[in-house]
Amino acid sequence: MSSQSTISKKSAVTDPDQSPKPRKRMTVPGFMARKGGEPLVCLTAYTAHVANLLDQRCDLLLVGDSLGMVIHGMPNTLGVTLEHMIMHGQGVMRGAEKSLVVVDMPFGSFEESPEIAFRNAARVVKETGCAAVKLEGGAEMAPTIQHMTRRGIPVMAHIGLMPQNLNMMGGFKIAGRDERDWEYIIQDAREVEKAGAFSVVVEGVTEPLAEKITQSISIPTIGIGASKECDGQILVFEDMIGLFPRVPTFVKRYGNMEEMIANAADLYAEEVRARRFPTEDHVYTLNKKDG
């Protein structure tokens, strides 16, 4: 591994040419105070270097269990373990100094009982140093959220489309297309707020429902596929930069990293095969002072 690949917080975080002014790390109360104000900017991050690049530009970095699909090639998020989340959470915490870092609770780690949820979440907080955890679920998870928040673990809830419910739903379904479903989803939002959640991810819901949810609660709503009617937005970083092949309707691609990687790898392969790489710039010599 080259020395350039270790995390240089100085280069990306404090270099005035590269990034906006350094700021203090976002806290849970600071995040909550942004309800109804300047939209909250959130992205997923799974690795230290990406976290370091996104840190100054985001309010919150989520170590999402989507890492199962995006990083580990799983078909869905159900196979993700607490160990995966802790390992990636540690990397992100090494890279991020300013953003509020939230780590997802994977399927099977919190549903059984509030006590088990607390124990696993405490392990995530202790072993990663993150400030909060996220868990999927609405009203049914309210007792668990209350148990955790009253014992010192801030919780971000996640309602609407819940990817860990894949098998129950028979696929990923947009919520709230039928107005008759609105009330129970709005109730989910109210219950997680009452239980003490500091924020709620609202996934895959129609715009009018997102607006209603956002107006019905006093904690920030963070939308993904839920329109601009939320207090903030989150996307999976790899979707946003074009580094994941499946692109849902709600994703806007801000870059095309797949194309960049393919082009770079093609050029590298061509140059290696033609013996045009390495050149003398890339080899160690007896006399030259090199790194």
Positions marked catalytic: 203
The answer to whether 224 contacts ligand KIV (rule: CB under 6 A) is yes
Contact between 31 and 199 (Cβ < 8 Å): yes
Distance CA 203, CA 198 (A): 17
Q: Which residues of 87-119 are buried (b: 16+ CB within 10 A; e: fewer)?
A: ebbbbbbbbbbbbbbbbbbbbebbbeebeebbe
Question: Helix, strand, or coil here: 55?
Answer: helix
> For residues 19 and 227, which CB has a smaller minimum distance to ligand KIV in the complex?
227
With the CA atoms of 163, 167, 172 and 174 taken in that order, what torsion angle do they form, in degrees rounded to the nearest 10? -90
Q: Which stretch binds ligand KIV (CB under 6 A): 58-66, 170-178, 183-191, 206-214?
A: 58-66
Taking the complex as a whole, the smallest distance from the CB of residue 9 to ligand KIV amounts, in Å, to 24
Question: Which residue's CB atom is positioned nearest to ligand KIV?
Answer: 64
The answer to whether 66 contacts ligand KIV (rule: CB under 6 A) is yes
The answer to whether 234 contacts ligand KIV (rule: CB under 6 A) is yes
Out of 55, 59, 97, 104, name the contact with ligand KIV by CB under 6 A. 104
**Subset of residues 24 to 53 that bind ligand KIV, contact rule: CB under 6 A:** 44
Q: Which of 51, 44, 111 is nearest to 78 (CA)?
A: 111
Q: Which stretch binds ligand KIV (CB under 6 A): 64-72, 124-132, 137-145, 168-176?
A: 64-72
Contact between 82 and 124 (Cβ < 8 Å): yes
Q: Which amino acid is at 94?
A: R
Distance CA 13, CA 270 (A): 35
Out of 12, 51, 64, 176, name the contact with ligand KIV by CB under 6 A. 64
> For residues 98 and 158, which CB has a smaller minimum distance to ligand KIV in the complex?
158
Taking the complex as a whole, the smallest distance from the CB of residue 244 to ligand KIV amounts, in Å, to 11
With CB under 6 A, what is the number of residues at the site for ligand KIV? 11
Distance CA 244, CA 262 (A): 13
Give me the residues that bind ligand KIV (CB under 6 A), please.
44, 62, 64-66, 104, 158, 201, 224, 234, 236
